[in-house]
Structure 1
Amino acid sequence: MASCIFCKIIKGKSSEIPCFKLVETEKSLAFLDINPLSRGHALVIPKVHGEKLTDIPDDFLTDILPIAKKLVKATGAEEYNILQNNGRGAHQEVPHVHFHMIPKPNQQEGLGIGWPIQKTDMDKLKALYEEIKDKL
């Protein structure tokens, strides 16, 4: 996509945003986030454009987690989040699939989240299980 900042970075055509490449493979690129939540916050992106995870061919996702794992080890992060958002409502800012590796060194730095648990209705949960299982 011509206007996608991550596609421009992949093609090496972005003077709009600096890119500190950490890892590059045939199918993926990892670089430091320019608006980090903590030291070592990095992004791993597939080299094919797709806004949501379901838009990316599986073969372009094969080295994403191994790269994220290498980043964890290289940064020395003992606690960290691997995060991937899909759509504006899910907090996706750049409409190109990307995975965050966010070190969590303390309570002030890194990803801060709430986890609004919903009350469970076991009958509804079983029906949902059956619905999803049938589609897999």
Structure 2
Amino acid sequence: MATLFSQIARGEVPCYKVAENSQFLAFLDIRPNAKGHTLCIPKKEVDKIFDLEEEIYRELMLFARKVGIGLEKTVDCKRVGMAVVGLEVPHVHVHLIPLNKMSDMDFSNNYQMSEEEFQKLADDICENVVL
């Protein structure tokens, strides 16, 4: 059975997309640690990050870097943190989290936003991502 992220990548489940190319997709986390929390995924379903082919791994990191730069231009923060945890969905995903304090990396946080706020933020980040 396809993961939730595979369904999102195929357009079967909606998301707040911020960047996309032929291999990768970036979208806002719907249970964000902080405003702008973004997930970068390979479109090909792979469970664990170190199971990715080496070239795909490198390309995912470059994609995440570009998204992170756009995110930092959009969201007021001291820096953008990166985490790979992978326990909640068995599909490789890189968390990009705008940080102003260490607790912003706490995955028990749940920053609240309306659908309109999510969409506006996604659109704003998208304008600042250069792929």
Q: Same fold (TM over 0.5)?
A: yes
TM-score (norm 1): 0.66
> What pairs up with 1:1-136 in 2 under 5 angstroms?
2-14=1-13, 18-76=14-72, 77-86=77-86, 92-108=87-103, 110-112=104-106
Instruction: Report the CA distance shift for 1:98/1:48 in structure 2 as closer, same or farther (over 3 A).
Output: same
Q: Displacement, 1:63?
A: 2.6
Larger radius of gyration: 1
Q: Distance in 2 between matches of 1:107 and 1:85?
A: 17
Note the aligned Cα RMSD (angstroms): 2.0
Counterpart position of 1:132:
none
Q: Displacement, 1:26?
A: 1.4
How many residue pairs end up in the alignment?
103
Helix, strand or coil at the partner of 1:12 = coil
Q: Displacement, 1:95?
A: 0.6
Q: Which runs of 5+ in 1 are unaligned?
A: 87-91, 114-136
Helix, strand or coil at the partner of 1:97 = coil
Q: Which runs of 5+ in 2 are unaligned?
A: 108-131
Q: Which amino acid aligns with 2:9?
A: I
Higher helix share: 2
TM-score (norm 2): 0.68
Structure 2 contact 97–105 (Cα < 8 Å) conserved: yes
List, as ranges, runs of 4+ consecutive aligned residues in structure 1 with deviation greater than 6 Å. none
Q: Displacement, 1:64?
A: 1.9
**1:2-47 Cα shifts (integer Å, max 9, x gaps):** 3310010111112xxx301111111111111100001111000011
% same residue? 32
**1:76-98 Cα shifts (integer Å, max 9, x gaps):** 24323211125xxxxx1001010
Q: Distance in 1 between matches of 2:106 and 2:7?
A: 30
Structure 1 contact 83–101 (Cα < 8 Å) conserved: yes
Q: Which amino acid aligns with 1:4?
A: T
Q: Displacement, 1:107?
A: 4.9
